[in-house]
Amino acid sequence: MAEHKVCEDLVKERKQCTFDVQELINLIDGGAQATQERKDVENMVLSTPGLSSKNDVPEEYLSHKERYENAIRKACILSECVKQYAERHNTMDAFRPTNKYRVMLGVVKDVSPFMLHMGMFVPTILSQSDPDQLAEWLPKAMSMQILGTYAQTELGHGTFLRGLETTATYDPSTEEFIIHSPSLTSYKWWPGGLAHTANHCIVVAQLYTKGQCYGVHPFFVQIRDTETHMPLPGIKVGEIGPKMGFQTANNGFLGFDHFRIPRRSMLMKNAQVLKDGTYVKAKNEKATYGTMVFVRVLILTDVSYELSRAATIAVRYSAVRHQSQPKPGEPEPQILDYVTQQHKLFIGVATSHIFRVTGHWLWDAYSQTLKDVGKGNMDQLPELHALACCLKAVCSRDATARIEEFRLSCGGHGYMASSNLPIINGIVSATITYEGEYTVLMLQTARFLVKAWKQATQGNTMTPTVSYLVQFFNNDRVLWENTPSGIISGFKAIAAGKTKAAYDSLHNYEKTGLDYEDAWNSASVQLVNASEAHCRAILCEVSWKEMVRYATNASPNLGKVLLQLAELYLVYWALEKRGDLLMYSTITRDDIARLQARYEELLALIRPNAVGIVDAFDVRDEILNSTLGAYDGRVYERLMEEALKSPLNAEPVNQSFHKYLKPMMMKAKL
Ligand X SMILES: Cc1cc2nc3c(=O)[nH]c(=O)nc-3n(C[C@H](O)[C@H](O)[C@H](O)COP(=O)(O)OP(=O)(O)OC[C@H]3O[C@@H](n4cnc5c(N)ncnc54)[C@H](O)[C@@H]3O)c2cc1C
Binding residues for ligand X (CB under 6 A):
116, 150-153, 157-159, 190-192, 246, 251, 430, 433-434, 437, 439-440, 443
- Non-local CB neighbours of 126 within 8 Å, separated by 6+ positions: 134, 138
Local structure of 194: helix, strand or coil:
coil
Q: Which is nearer to ligand X, 433 or 654 (CB)?
A: 433
Rg (CA), the chain: 27
Q: Which is nearer to ligand X, 159 or 552 (CB)?
A: 159
Tell me the C-alpha to C-alpha distance, in Å, between residue 662 and each of 558, 648, 655: 64, 18, 10
Q: Which is nearer to ligand X, 253 or 453 (CB)?
A: 253
Closest distance of CB 435 from ligand X, Å: 6
* Residues found in the chain: 670
CA distance 233 to 474: 65
CA distance 447 to 531: 9
Q: Which is nearer to ligand X, 203 or 540 (CB)?
A: 203
Helix, strand, coil percentages, rounded to 5, for the chain: 60, 10, 30
CA distance 53 to 51: 6
Q: Which is nearer to ligand X, 159 or 557 (CB)?
A: 159
CA distance 569 to 571: 6
Backbone phi and psi for residue 440, each to the nearest 5 degrees, phi listed first: -65, -40
- Residue 24: count other Cβ atoms within 10 Å of its Cβ: 25
Q: Which amino acid is at 310?
A: A
Closest distance of CB 509 from ligand X, Å: 15
Closest distance of CB 432 from ligand X, Å: 9
Does the active-site annotation cover 435?
yes
Closest residue by beta carbon to ligand X: 158
Does residue 202 contact residue 267 with C-beta atoms inside 8 Å? yes
Local structure of 40: helix, strand or coil:
helix
Looking at 154, 435, 532, 546, which residue is catalytic?
435
Closest distance of CB 251 from ligand X, Å: 6
CA distance 669 to 663: 10
Q: Which is nearer to ligand X, 164 or 563 (CB)?
A: 164
Does residue 468 contact residue 409 with C-beta atoms inside 8 Å? no
CA triple 478-480-482, angle to 5 deg:
150
Q: Cα–chain-centroid distance for residue 340? A: 27
Closest distance of CB 496 from ligand X, Å: 24
Closest distance of CB 111 from ligand X, Å: 8
Q: Which residues pair with 239 in a beta bridge?
A: 252
Closest distance of CB 75 from ligand X, Å: 16
Q: Which is nearer to ligand X, 86 or 240 (CB)?
A: 240
DSSP structure class, residue 479: P
Tell me the C-alpha to C-alpha distance, in Å, between residue 302 and each of 11, 307, 356, 641: 30, 9, 9, 30
CA distance 122 to 254: 20
- Non-local CB neighbours of 111 within 8 Å, separated by 6+ positions: 192, 245, 246, 247, 248, 249, 427
Closest distance of CB 78 from ligand X, Å: 20
Q: Which is nearer to ligand X, 422 or 633 (CB)?
A: 422
Catalytic residues: 435
